[in-house]
Amino acid sequence: MKRPAYSVLILLLCVPFYGAAADISLGLGGFLTRSPYDAKRNDYSVWPVFNYDNDSWYIQGDEVGGYVLNDDTHELKVKAYYFDQEYQPKEGHGRAMRHLDKRHTTVMSGMSYQYTTAFGAIHTQLATDIRNRSQGVVANLAYLNMVQWAKLSLIPEVGLDWANGQQTRYYYGISSAESARSGLARYRPSANVTPYLSLMTVYNVTAHWNTYASARVNFLAATVRNSPIVNQDRTEAFSVGVNYNF
């Protein structure tokens, strides 16, 4: 997972807003993702993480957006976020994988809605590729909750990610031209649904400092697993970090 360099630019742009009534934090995060492709297995990265929220608009790491609704029960956002999936042919295992096209990261934009109750929250989201990499559309439906013990918070989540045919074909399909170059069979998958489980932990060390860790497992759909360029039935993502809250 390669975080965009413009995260530093976002931080600089937000400095003038420091005086506004807002929640602001700055930290450092380490990230590990495991690729579904028949390629280099792990991708490690370390990046600064900046969060800003003034109840009208926000920046949360590599996501930026504004609130349409924002109260204890309803949260409706308009947002854009960095979609970090990619494939680099030079990292592929074997000649065939090295003769495929690149799959690029992109920026997605859309809306999300979260309904919060005493028993947890239901989250939904719909977004589309605004950089025209895949012309794809993705959606999410999830349930999450928070359990707190003194300074420790646990946030479990279970959900479904949906991607339309264009999104699935861009990242997992094989075009006729790629098939001719690589020798792999042409593959034109349809839309897919990916179930996942995740858990985040946050520990408040002091009033200003906290640490966090998260883990997520995605269980790949058959339309993805059956791609000739995929050799996994699931992917994982992990992160750890520390934040200073101003």
Q: Which domains does the chain have, with CATH numbers?
A: 6-245 (2.40.160)
CA atoms within 13 A on the CB side of 100: 31
Task: Return mean pLDDT, the chain.
Answer: 92
Predicted local distance difference test score (pLDDT) of residue 205? 97
Predicted local distance difference test score (pLDDT) of residue 20? 55
Res. 9: pLDDT tops 70: no
Environment class of 84 (CB within 10 Å of its CB; exposed 0-12, middle 13-18, buried 19+): middle
Q: Which residues lie across from 160 on neighbouring strands?
A: 141, 195
Res. 15: pLDDT tops 50: no
Distance CA 3, CA 16 (A): 24
Residue keyed to tokens 């003769």: 99
* CB contact set of 69 (below 8 Å; sequence gap of 6+): 75, 76
Cα 116 → chain centroid: 22
Residue keyed to tokens 């504004």: 66
Predicted local distance difference test score (pLDDT) of residue 21? 77
Environment class of 198 (CB within 10 Å of its CB; exposed 0-12, middle 13-18, buried 19+): middle
Residue keyed to tokens 């699931």: 234
